[in-house]
Structure 1
Amino acid sequence: MDARFEPNGVVALLTDFGLSDPYVGQMKGVLLARFPAARIVDLAHGVPPQDVRVGAFFLARSRASFAPGTVFVAVVDPGVGSERKLLAAVEDERLYLAPDNGLLPAALDARALLFELDPDRCALPARSRTFHGRDVFAPAAAWLANGGALDAIARPLHGAPTGGPSIRAVRRSVGEVHTEVLFADHYGNLVLTATPDDLGGDPRGWRAEAAGRAIGFVGTYAEAGSGEACALVDSFGSIELAVRDGSAAAELGLHRGDPVVLRRNPC
């Protein structure tokens, strides 16, 4: 793989900013002021505050949905204003911008080419120390999405990037897999760090144990009875706990980081 990148004008934004404040709108304003033809996609702005791992998961599970030539801007940046670096990465003809806090290594393959952005070459003339999403990443994204050269604003990264939190943290033993809740989605479904690969590729014959309950696997939400807790493979390709017509997060009382055991059913 090389660092060639042909932009298609799409910029995908992923942040933990939420939508009740003007931060997302300000980023878009900067982008459009510099590249009015940009096509901006809001990938997600509901990453839990400062949760780099969930941000990495969202990016890892979403990037293949976008065409080559997309510029991704992933700003989950609890270290903003510190000495941490600002990164660009190229992989599979897509370009990614994010702080050097482990998000990109957790989301991308090891073969991604990494670069360090030079803020003096791409930032707004007067930049805030607390909002690099608007003042550095947005103008950099506009430059790159409009066909600007990466090497004009970045240089190859020297040394390794900051290591990322694992989005696939599991512990296996005979007949069981110890996993944890990664996040709860809008519906209260609990997405786990485990995937069907951890169960030999087929979850049939397994059950989930959480909050003092044994929860059986189903193929779809509709296979569970109304109000029934179930486990299934979700659209991310992860194992998920759900409640038909309800919220697993509320019903089971589980939160990010809480343990779940996947255990093989007795023969």
Structure 2
Amino acid sequence: MSYEGLLYEVNDEIATVTLNRPEAMNALTPKMEADLHRAFDDADADKDVRVIIMTGTGAAFSAGYDQGAGESGRKKTDPTGLSIADYLEAWQRGDAKNVDKWSHMWKLGKPIIAAVNGWAMGGGFWYQLAADITIASDKAVFAQPEVRHVSNTTYLFTALCGWKNANRWALTGDHFDAEEAYRIGMINELVPHDELMDKARALAARIALVPEPAVRLNKAIAMQGIQAAGVNAALILEGTLGAIAHSSHTDYREELFEKQRTEGVRAYLQMRDGPFQPEPMGPRSEKGRAAKKS
């Protein structure tokens, strides 16, 4: 089996799916994301697999969706030359797929453990939210910086952590560390970085001791239960509101897009995130920068 930007291996009834694009902090391309879900399906169909672990190579779990221009030469977020109706429709179609992606993960018979090894931003942040269980390294950093260019958070964050905690981080796009993620209930375990994969495999092995039908049915009770309780409806609403947000015009957004077109992604990110420096937590905080110098 071959997958773009992924490593896939099966050992001791555990399928490990590793995002493997470290030069881009494991940013997801459309093909890579499609193959990720294909890998989930392959693991789910494999009778020798009982549990799936998702992790990343290098310093990141995933920095989110690739911020470079697509085949058309246009960033997904750039509305230049499109009517409001066409741009709104494109975002509605794209955001509606999020319901399908998370539902796909939740309907698998085998649980997914997200082993967050480093940066989990944007779409990477969302994937660790959607996993059945999340274990994070003490080097993990979480954020949704995309809100800083008029993008949207996800209701999954609110559902897991409550609206007060979600609002603190979703309204700013600020970075927060694994200790804070554990405090607000976003992750199940916080472990030393060097022990992350051992801890994830040990938990997977314990799950594999339970009869397969019990694991499958109890996952369904939890994950299909939250869908029946209204999470899917909230995600559909999220897609509509997100499309409106992405279609909103501001002079600041126009300046951002022009910066990306003329100077590239790095300049674009500096313009967007520069005013928020230093971050309150993580390597880009005052404490993190001081630790690097010492």
Q: Fold conserved (TM > 0.5)?
A: no
Normalised by the size of structure 2, how large is the TM-score?
0.28
Q: TM-score, normalised by structure 1?
A: 0.30
Higher strand share: 1
Q: Which entry has the higher C-alpha Rg, 1 or 2?
A: 1
**Structure in which a larger fraction of residues adopt helix:** 2
